[in-house]
Amino acid sequence: MRILVLGSGGREDAIAWALEWGHHANDDEVFVAPGNGGSRLRLDVDPTDPQAVVDLCRREAIGLVVVGPESSLAAGVSDALREASIPVFGPSAQAAMLETSKAFCRSFATKHSIPSPVSEVFVGPQAAEKALLWADQQSFEIVVKADGLAAGKGVVVPSSVDERNAAIKTLSLSGDLVLEERLFGEEVSLLVFTDGITICPMPPARDHKCIGEGDTGANTGGMGVYAPTAACPSDMVDRIVQEIIQPAIDGLRAMGIAYVGVLYAGIMLTAQGPKLIEFNCRFGDPEAQALLPLLQSELKSVLLACVNGTLSELEIRWSAKTSCAVVAAAPGYPSHPILGGVISGLESVAKSDNVQMFHAGTEKAGNEIRVNGGRVMCVTGLGEDLSSARQSAYAAIKHVNFEGQQIRRDIGWRELARTTGGYANSGVDIDEGNRAVDLMKKKVEATHTSDVLGGLGSFGGALSVRSLMTMNDPVLVASTDGVGTKVMLATDLGRFDTIGHDIVNHCVNDVLVQRARPLFFLDYVASSSISAEMVASIVGGMADACAANKCVLLGGETAEMPGVYSPGHFDVAGTLVGVVDRARLLPSKTIEPGDLMVGLLASGLHTNGYSLVRRIFAGLPLDVVPQGWTCTLGDALLASHRSYLNVLDRALKGDVIKGLAHITGGGFEENIPRVLPPGCSAKVDLGSWPMIPIFELIRDVSGLPDRELYRTFNMGIGMVIIVKPSDLEELRSQIEEPIWVIGEVTSGNREVDLA
């Protein structure tokens, strides 16, 4: 058979590859019109000219036409081919209105009860004025869309009212508008083959529309995609087909339209269930480049079954592997791509069963391949999981070079974050740690004398030292701790100044919860090899923190241990000793049900949870500035563990504070019970304090349940104060920063209820 693929992008290159070189390839001749610099057999035709396409097919004896771009569908090419009795895979222009007119799509969805966002259509010369008025009247965030085709760039998701209004005015210049309620959740692309009756879904995919890493910047036609996505398991695929795709196919058939081709549903998995973002009426780009390498059935047989209405008789088989497609875009894309640059390194891309390279915006000029479009190349990697597929794709695309190229380094980063599986899978098992404490507790307590007032399980050891006669009964309170795997992040970024602050402030807070004032600090720094600059930076940070906390840095140990630490890695630990009069020790024995828990905000993750958080953000470069942030991800993760000594100084001199809990490793569940007397528990009201951006992002991308988050991280509260309700206002007057009532002490057995 002589097969014609209409179009010139990466999608069409992938379709031609699957027809010619994919599974069960035979002697078919596959032509691409007009094709690109990577097309083997090209024909010259305008893919949006129906009669020219028909004439070409007759002249070249084409037995099957596969329509690639939406512009060809909108122009009626499929209709003209059917009228000429030429087999064509692609819906009619009327059916394609699901994509070519967002206004038609929303009206159609409403008529057929397809779950969708609230929307409104604005037409005519006053469209912008009416849209601005409607938007101001809504209580939800707005997405602004151009009604017609815009090559994937006619959608603006504004981050402010000013940006929303500007988008309305700009997009209205090119035609009618559709304004929609912004949906929140996991976004999924589900493509299906259909002959107008039978529906055969492809693996669900997740694309990356934004130009910038961390899903920032302007919308594009797509900078990368992976499939399948674990966010859409088989039961959710079935639900999307039943609630969204089947009603669409049935609704068109009721209108006398047999939909033949690919129907692509952009879906948001909201808390209320899947909702339709938009329909596309063809293979996606770059979805085709990710999905077709997973197809194990012969593509020609699938297409002909759709055309002949026999799809129900065919079993379509897919690989169990994962694919990851990464796009290299032209400089200036998506607004003003700069064309003409020479592309080098293509011959170095080692194509294999696990790597395929697809041309998109390219053209051949003599012996050179040049940039001829916004999205230039796409490389797809296959692997047993997303990590290995990503590795294959990025290892291959690094060979593709042209001036000013744009490649997102984070394709699949959210999926990687969701596969962490919690803290235990990161190599840290909180429950096993608690078991170890129980096993050692008796032996540790056997060494205690009557002078030991706080031992294993407290924030710091407490020992009566009566020689400190400036107090009636002075008690030394000691804390030893380490910075943990946060040091690995410091190594990755080459920044060590905040680590010194972390260890001192952590230990200060651990003795502060017993009302002890710090006396002195001893440090310990160990590494594979000594770097004077690194050690000076770390210890300098300790000295600054000690000065701020009014204690002395006496000295410590610097150890060089090759073979114990990996090259370039190090560890930091320390011991702090403080003193308090025994009569003033916290926690007070007067803590009782009804007391309030008041929170002081954290400065970031402090020094806990980094084993998990490094896995969550494994797919996102640390120099990315996430949407709405004013600093890089690395800066946020390296923010110093704050000390609460100075902010609590005035309050600790009084008597309103009954107890303090430093929220460190083990989060709320492990730390609040340490200060509760028998018969007391605690109820924490989640959402009662402002969550800082780093924790919003962690919660958003990890998909971890609240219990896992609040037993791993401080979630924005670094210190909890227990106070009698009648003393709350006095406490406010003694603390010169906002405080937040985050819950209360309840009756129980030292448990924490996260409500």
Q: What is the pLDDT of residues 679-696, one digit of tens each?
A: 999 999 999 999 999 999
Picking from 89, 106, 124, the residue at the C-terminal end of a domain is 89
In a domain, 30, yes or no: yes
Q: What is the pLDDT of residues 238-275, one digit of tens each?
A: 999 999 999 999 999 999 999 999 999 999 999 999 99
Q: What is the pLDDT of residue 5?
A: 98
% residues pLDDT > 70 (the chain): 92
Residue 455 has pLDDT above 70, yes or no: no
Same domain, 596 and 718: yes
Which CATH number fits the domain that encloses residue 572?
A: 3.30.1330.10
In a domain, 439, yes or no: no
Same domain, 681 and 575: no
- Which of 253-267, 422-436, 704-718 is predicted with the least confidence, judged by mean pLDDT? 422-436
Residue 645 has pLDDT above 60, yes or no: yes
> Which residues fall within 8 angstroms of residue 397, CB to CB, at 6 or more apart?
326, 328, 349, 377, 379, 407
Picking from 555, 585, 615, the residue at the C-terminal end of a domain is 585
Which CATH number fits the domain that encloses residue 595?
A: 3.90.650.10
In a domain, 149, yes or no: no
Mean pLDDT taken over the chain: 91
The boundaries of the domain holding residue 68 are 2-89
Our count of domains for the chain comes to: 3
Same domain, 7 and 77: yes
Same domain, 685 and 602: yes
| Structure tokens, 439 | 């096993």
Same domain, 663 and 554: no
The residue whose two tokens read 């079935």 is 238
Please report the sign of the dihedral spanned by the C-alpha atoms of residue 726, residue 731, residue 734, residue 740.
Answer: negative
Question: Which residues in 289-419 belong to E strands, given as ranges?
Answer: 322-329, 342-343, 355-359, 362-365, 368-371, 375-383, 406-407
Residue type, 708: E
% residues pLDDT > 90 (the chain): 75
- Of the pLDDT bands very low, low, confident and very high (cuts 50, 70, 90), residue 439 is very low
Q: What is the pLDDT of residue 83?
A: 97
Residue 445 has pLDDT above 60, yes or no: no
Instruction: Please measure the distance between the N-terminal and C-terminal CA atoms of the chain and give it in whole angstroms.
Output: 65
Strands of 657-662's sheet in order across: 657-662, 717-723, 596-601, 740-747, 680-684, 752-754
457/663 Cα distance (integer angstroms): 14
DSSP element (H, E) containing 684? strand 680-684
Which CATH number fits the domain that encloses residue 37?
A: 3.40.50.20
Same domain, 459 and 594: no
Q: What is the pLDDT of residue 684?
A: 97
In a domain, 52, yes or no: yes
Q: What is the pLDDT of residues 505-515, one digit of tens each?
A: 999 999 999 99
In a domain, 527, yes or no: yes
The average pLDDT across 587-597 equals 97
The average pLDDT across 71-75 equals 96
Picking from 585, 605, 639, the residue at the C-terminal end of a domain is 585
Q: What is the pLDDT of residue 452?
A: 53
- 260 with 307: CB under 8 angstroms? yes
Same domain, 473 and 552: yes
Q: What is the pLDDT of residue 429?
A: 55
In a domain, 21, yes or no: yes
308/75 Cα distance (integer angstroms): 23
Same domain, 25 and 69: yes
Q: What is the pLDDT of residues 347-376, one digit of tens each?
A: 988 778 899 999 999 999 999 999 999 999
Residue 86 has pLDDT above 60, yes or no: yes
Q: What is the pLDDT of residues 135-154, one digit of tens each?
A: 999 889 989 988 877 655 57
In a domain, 517, yes or no: yes
| Structure tokens, 414 | 């959210």
In a domain, 265, yes or no: no
Same domain, 618 and 526: no
pTM, entire model: 0.85
The average pLDDT across 310-329 equals 97
- Of the pLDDT bands very low, low, confident and very high (cuts 50, 70, 90), residue 454 is low
Q: What is the pLDDT of residue 386?
A: 97
Q: Which of 252, 244, 111 is nearest to 195 (CA)?
A: 252
Same domain, 519 and 596: no
Same domain, 595 and 578: no
Residue 423 has pLDDT above 80, yes or no: no
Residue 609 has pLDDT above 70, yes or no: yes
Same domain, 663 and 752: yes
- Of the pLDDT bands very low, low, confident and very high (cuts 50, 70, 90), residue 174 is confident
